[in-house]
Amino acid sequence: PKFVYAFTEGNKELKDLLGGKGANLAEMTNLGLPVPPGFTITTEACKVYLDSGTEPSALREEVSAHLDALERQMGKKLGQADDPLLVSVRSGAKFSMPGMMDTVLNIGLSDESVDGLAEQAGDERFAWDSYRRLIQMFGRTVLGVDGELFEEALEEAKKAKGVSTDVELDAADLRTLVEQFKDIVGKETGRDFPQDPREQMDLAIRAVFDSWNGDRAKLYRRQERIPHDLGTAVNVCSMVFGNLGPDSGTGVAFTRDPASGQQGVYGDYLQNAQGEDVVAGIRNTVPLADLEQLDKASYDQLMQIMETLETHYKDLCDIEFTIERGKLWMLQTRVGKRTAAAAFRIATQLVDQGLIDEAEALQRVNGAQLAQLMFPRFDSDAAIEQLGRGIAASPGAAVGKAVFDSYTAIKWSRSGEKVILIRRETNPDDLDGMIAAEGILTSRGGKTSHAAVVARGMGKTCVCGAEELEVDTKRRQLTAPSPDGKGSIVIDEGDVISIDGSTGKVYRGEVPVVPSPVVEYFEGRMHAGAEDADELVKAVHRVMAYADRVRRLRVRANADNAEDAARARRFGAQGIGLCRTEHMFLGERRELVERLILADAEDEREQSLAALLPLQKGDFKELFEAMDGLPVTVRLLDPPLHEFLPDITELSVRVALAEARKDHNENDLRLLQAVHRLHEQNPMLGLRGVRLGLVIPGLFTMQVRAIAEAAAERLAANGDPRAEIMIPLVGTVQELEIVREDAEKVIREVEETYGVDLGLTLGTMIELPRAALTAGQIAESADFFSFGTNDLTQTVWGFSRDDVEASFFTAYLEKGIFGVSPFETIDKDGVGKLVKDAVRDGRATRPDLKLGVCGEHGGDPESVHFFHEVGLDYVSCSPFRIPVARLEAGRAAA
Ligand code: ADP
Ligand code: MG
Ligand code: MG
């Protein structure tokens, strides 16, 4: 294979081979933009090196040939004593990994050529500044010298001279500094700083290869789900200099505002500076607009180039550039990162500009961004003191009193206080406190820390790893540096703080919370068509319309009551995919359920069931009314019965106390017996779902009757009920056949009594591996399947969802066993394979089998794409996820 490509040979499609930076440098070169010439060593070469420990044998010659060509083009040789060609050696992987890998500037300088450079530039200070930068960067990244040692020497030099910035050091100072830097290298590595320019270059190239496997880079990849075997490309680029005086400089720019999407001039510029100086914050930058005053010609050219890039990439681009004595050079561009709001606005703006079509616009946004826009936000105008900033681990805006332990969190929240749980880091013991808190703040740990993972799972606001904040749980204090950096601010237990899980910011006091305009829009309280409608709302409205036009998957809601159903409908639900009936057995009805469970005689049981019937019927009627004309899938009772009985410990104590008082309560005693009888070691795998229906006579038929009568009465009221009855936890077709026979009998009775045809359908959940494996048989008795991917994930992996997320998932995520919990995103290879095969087998038996999914995965972006691919008819998710599912279903189909 060819291992080296000149910038003139590549293009932007070659990111796999040339990395993002190299591919885009080539693209710009071929667009005729001013890019300093150079070449790119491919990721393939990197992979060979990483696999075998040595560079591929052909590489050296190819590099030599390209270097020759570059030297001829530039009219000087690398490191040439009287007029040196200098290059940068820059890392650049397929996916941007900001700050994770290495770049070395000014390669080719040596004790000899530094004088040649000074001569050519007519600027001695510049030459020595470049040389000291080279030794510093090379020493640190290539030779592995502790960077602090160079920093300290630089500080010393400034102190000795009584100045505060590096630009105030003159040529002589820098010359002395170079000697010191060389001594440091000698002492730390036992060798001299290499004077041979080619050796410098080769060592730097190898260091960039090696940086792919640096600890930081590995961790970042695991967190961002970037494969470990891609390798990085290496760009060798002839140097241009922004540190050649006031008519030189370096800057960054965006073609649009990455925060709002607005077109305009956005960026920063720094005069007389090189490379990282702009972002390192060593001196104050000026807004890009000021460049117009400083250097009109370069500014105009930059504006022109930015327009060219936008039209060419058809998207927002970010840019790194340098001006050398009035000549503009482009050093990097890529399609830029943007906020969620900007993503939607830019997508619609580009459609209006005719640069992209609707299908492409859908690819420019995603469900995660939409979800982010739906969280309530802090009022950005509120003038509130910021305490610090951590990692935005789980979005949302939370306000509450600071507490430092789980116990207090629970105690205070029980008495109605809102609390923020603050810990250095959390562990499974903190779980109850996390549940009780409005939000969680930690000073340690990253995006996969326990706090972050658990909070995301619970949908709770979390900021983690706020390292500048000191958490002292013993003294119940949080200490933050004060804004002037001189003192500190102390937050005691009980003081109010606010945390923003979308930005990672932490504030002292209460920041007012405003509802998301996007939710206001979905709720129908804000209209996209209104004159003064929010620009973001208009954009979201349009993108949702694109998605709805193309999507094949229908989207339903998991909703148990009329209120949720109504909201789901406003959010665009096309039915209910899962109505759980367990809540219909709670509250005041619990007593009836207790009687049902305790019943010794048949008539006792029938009485309880008869009392429950009208109550359930009432619930169903409300639900069918809210969903008039749309399908409603009602799941018959699923959870184990003991969940409806009192807690075993509480009840035992009550009985023991009564006994001590010789005050026998017959009912409590019977209850306690029942609790013991129903107690299961493993309730998740116990007496629940269809098993309940088969062993408790009359339970399922009562529910079926309630559904059928509710539907009949809605019909009588000129409604349009579309009920579907769903049987949970079926493992074999025989279970389903028995339930079906009983149910059909009841339905026929009701139809005869009311003189109507109800058109009810009867189907099953597929949530056990055996059900999926025998889907072909089960379809003989089912009108529809609904994949219950929560239970299916539990049973396929053998994970108890209620336990594992808080116990060992953090370790699994950290070790990279999976990048995201399989309860969040469907495990395509395992659980997904069962779904796919069950779809195939089910349809083989019954081609018109209706297929859906009702686990949490129904609202997860990546999972929605999977369900589209395997050919489901619909996904069902919680009401708030419906817009996300609609959008992703559209993206999957576009
Ligand atoms: P990163 O991937 O961290 O952005 P780069 O390879 O882009 O690293 O290098 C960082 C900075 O160094 C660039 O933004 C640019 O300012 C400077 N730089 C890199 N190569 C050159 C060059 N050939 N001439 C001048 N400056 C360069
Ligand atoms: Mg860069
Ligand atoms: Mg289930």
DSSP 177-199: HHHHHHHHHHHHHSSPPP--HHH
Selected residue with higher pLDDT from 810 and 545: 545
CB atoms within 10 A of CB 742: 17
DSSP 704-736: HHHHHHHHHHHHHTT---EEEEEE-S--SHHHH
Give pLDDT tens digits for 569-616: 999 999 999 999 988 888 788 888 888 888 878 888 899 999 999 999
Ligand 1 pocket, residue 237 CB under 6 Å: yes
Residue 520 reports pLDDT greater than 80:
yes
Contact predicate 138/145, CB 8 Å:
no
Q: Quick one: which of 696, 686, 693, 775 has its CA closest to 738?
A: 693
How many alpha carbons fall within 13 Å on the CB side of residue 449? 25
CB-based contacts of 170, cutoff 8 Å, min separation 6: 125
- Between CA 103 and CA 513 the distance in angstroms is 43
Helix H or strand E encompassing 268: strand 263-271
Residue 291 reports pLDDT greater than 80:
yes
**Highest mean pLDDT of the ranges 279-283, 641-645, 869-873:** 869-873
Ligand 1 pocket, residue 89 CB under 6 Å: no
pLDDT at 280: 63
Which tokens is 155 given? 């500080």
Alpha-carbon distance values, 266 to 257, 287, 566 (Å): 6, 7, 44
Q: Give the type of residue at 829.
A: D
Q: Residue range 497-525: average pLDDT?
A: 92
Distance 267 CA to ligand 1 centre (A): 16
Alpha-carbon distance values, 250 to 245, 273, 321 (Å): 11, 6, 6
Using the Cα atoms of residue 433, residue 434, residue 438 and residue 442 in order, give the sign of their dihedral: positive
**Window from 447-461, 518-532, 667-681, 769-783 with minimum mean pLDDT:** 447-461
Contact predicate 377/514, CB 8 Å:
yes
Which tokens is 489 given? 């601010």
Ligand 1 pocket, residue 332 CB under 6 Å: yes
Distance 689 CA to ligand 3 centre (A): 8
Which tokens is 868 given? 């589209």
Give pLDDT tens digits for 807-837: 788 788 777 788 788 998 999 999 999 999 9
Nearest CA to ligand 1 atom 27: 275
Q: Give the type of residue at 429.
A: D
Q: Give the type of residue at 363.
A: Q
Q: Which residues are catalytic?
A: 450, 854
pLDDT above 90 coverage of the chain, percent: 72
Nearest CA to ligand 1 atom 23: 239
Distance 99 CA to ligand 1 centre (A): 12
DSSP SS3 for 58: helix
Q: Where are the beta strands (DSSP E) in 527-646?
A: 554-558, 576-579, 631-635
Angle at 51 between CA 107 and CA 69, to 5 degrees: 35
Ligand 1 pocket, residue 608 CB under 6 Å: no
Residue 245 reports pLDDT greater than 90:
no
Angle at 676 between CA 671 and CA 681, to 5 degrees: 140
Ligand with the closest atom to the CA of 252: 1
CB atoms within 10 A of CB 880: 19
Give pLDDT tens digits for 122-133: 999 999 999 999
Residue 457 reports pLDDT greater than 70:
no
DSSP SS3 for 3: coil
582 is in an annotated binding site: no
Which tokens is 823 given? 């309860």
pLDDT at 265: 85
Q: Give the type of residue at 539.
A: A
| DSSP state, residue 571 | T
Residue 725 reports pLDDT greater than 80:
yes
Torsion (CA) 42, 46, 47, 49 in degrees, nearest 10: 140
pLDDT at 427: 82
DSSP SS3 for 763: strand
420 phi, psi to nearest 5 deg: -110, 125
Residue 724 reports pLDDT greater than 90:
yes
DSSP SS3 for 564: helix
| DSSP state, residue 637 | P
Helix ranges (DSSP H) in 697-825: 699-716, 733-754, 769-773, 775-778, 789-797, 801-807, 809-814
Which tokens is 644 given? 């409806």
Contact predicate 687/679, CB 8 Å:
no
Domains assigned to the chain: 4-238 (3.30.1490.20), 249-335 (3.30.470.20), 375-514 (3.50.30.10), 551-581+614-638+701-893 (3.20.20.60)
Sheet order of strands, 317-324 included: 286-287, 263-271, 249-256, 317-324, 327-335
Task: Indicate whether this model's pTM tops 0.90.
Answer: no
| DSSP state, residue 561 | S
CB-based contacts of 554, cutoff 8 Å, min separation 6: 574, 575, 873, 874, 875
Distance 525 CA to ligand 2 centre (A): 44
Residue 211 reports pLDDT greater than 80:
yes
CB atoms within 10 A of CB 658: 14
DSSP SS3 for 282: coil
Residue 47 reports pLDDT greater than 90:
yes
pLDDT at 215: 82
pLDDT above 70 coverage of the chain, percent: 98
479 is in an annotated binding site: no
Contact predicate 12/25, CB 8 Å:
no
580 is in an annotated binding site: yes
CB-based contacts of 603, cutoff 8 Å, min separation 6: none
Distance 66 CA to ligand 3 centre (A): 62
CA 223 centroid distance within chain: 10
Q: Give the type of residue at 533.
A: A
Q: Quick one: which of 344, 367, 364, 370 has its CA closest to 542?
A: 344
Ligand 1 pocket, residue 334 CB under 6 Å: no
Q: Which residues surround ligand 2, an ion (CB under 5 A)?
A: 320, 332
Residue 223 reports pLDDT greater than 70:
no
791 is in an annotated binding site: yes
Give pLDDT tens digits for 461-510: 999 989 899 999 999 999 999 877 788 999 999 999 999 998 899 999 99
Q: Residue range 770-784: average pLDDT?
A: 98
24 is in an annotated binding site: no
Ligand 1 pocket, residue 460 CB under 6 Å: no
Ligand 1 pocket, residue 208 CB under 6 Å: no
pLDDT at 817: 83
Whether the complex's predicted ipTM is more than 0.85 is answered with yes
Per-residue pLDDT band for 279 (boundaries 50, 70, 90) equals: low
Per-residue pLDDT band for 678 (boundaries 50, 70, 90) equals: confident
pLDDT at 664: 78
